[in-house]
Amino acid sequence: MTIDLINPEPRTPLAKRRWRCRSASALALTLVFVGVGSASAQAREGVDVGKNSAFSNLVPADQVERSSAEQYVQMMQKASEQGALAGPEHPQLKRLRTIAAKIIPHALQWNPRASHWRWEVNLIGSKQINAFCMPGGKIAFYTGILDQLKLSDDEVAMVMGHEVAHALREHARERMGKSAATNIGASLLTQVLGLGQIGQTVTNYGAQLLTLQFSRDNESEADLVGMELAARAGYDPRAGVTLWQKMGAANKGAPPQWLSTHPSGTTRIGDIEANLPKVMPLYERVKTN
């Protein structure tokens, strides 16, 4: 077999076919590496909080979301029976749903399951300074947090973004997974995954989804992810600072319920301020367009 030094394709038919196959394979491999290099070179805009905890994989997401939906329905029914559930024409509820409609489309990149969630937003008449988003996108605000803190739309978006972030980062599943691992024991975990014990964990915690206390890492993640969600939706992320200043001012003796499970203080505000440069361009782009 001879090869032309100017055109290095072999001259025999069989050799030509082999050479072309090798050339095509080499070209495909080169394109793959170029694609990988280009993807890695394009850093993601926004905050960086890493991947979801591996503990969340120990508990089936559909079971947690089903339990959450059942509990949410019960809560809304009880509020309705007490005359505390806002009707669809309530101005504050319409305000909340408008903000949610802008935030939710940006939630999908944080959790693929969110595209299948049946998102709901409701308002409950209560003096509680509280709000939540349960697994599966079940959002509720209490009138107390809106009225007593006199929240601007930007501040409401920060609260909502924070709570939605808990659901997207699956902090409830993580908490349940850690509990399951602790109660069952790591050495036995692989033996019981198919025997219903994990399902029992969901059952045990199902009635406690609103009272699960997240770790400081969870809260920090929710602050940052929520701030990005708000910024992408066109709400000023600097409102995170004024929000927590208001929450701190509301802490007279006993902290508000929302604040009691959401550690606050100068460190928290400092973390938000430190990450503002990562999300302000997102907000400014929306406002410019």
Residue of 14 and 68 predicted with greater confidence:
68
Structural domain contains residue 21: no
* DSSP string across 67-101: HHHHHHHHHHHHHHHTT-BPPTT-HHHHHHHHHHH
| pLDDT of 272 above 70 | yes
Indicate the range of 58-67, 122-131, 263-272 predicted with least confidence.
Answer: 263-272
pLDDT tens digits for range 175-223: 877 666 665 554 444 444 443 444 454 455 544 565 566 777 888 889 9
- Separation CA 269–CA 272 (nearest Å): 5
Structural domain contains residue 39: no
Residue of 285 and 190 predicted with greater confidence:
285
Mean pLDDT, the chain, integer? 78
Structural domain contains residue 40: no
Q: Output the pLDDT for position 33.
A: 39
Length in residues, the chain: 289
Q: Output the pLDDT for position 190.
A: 43
Contact 245, 239 (CB under 8 A): no
Q: Output the pLDDT for position 147.
A: 95
The residue annotated as part of the active site, out of 65, 155, 163, 174, is 163
Structural domain contains residue 12: no
Structural domain contains residue 100: yes
Structural domain contains residue 3: no
Report the pLDDT averaged over residues 265-284.
90
* 48 torsion bin: left (phi>0), alpha (psi -120 to 50), beta (else): beta
Structural domain contains residue 149: yes
Sheet holding 131-134, edge to edge: 120-124, 138-142, 131-134
Confidence of residue 47 (pLDDT cuts 50, 70, 90): confident
| Number of separate domains in the chain | 1
Annotation marks residue 163 as catalytic: yes
Enclosing domain of residue 230? 54-288
The sign of the dihedral angle between the CA atoms of 278, 280, 281, 283 is positive
Structural domain contains residue 37: no
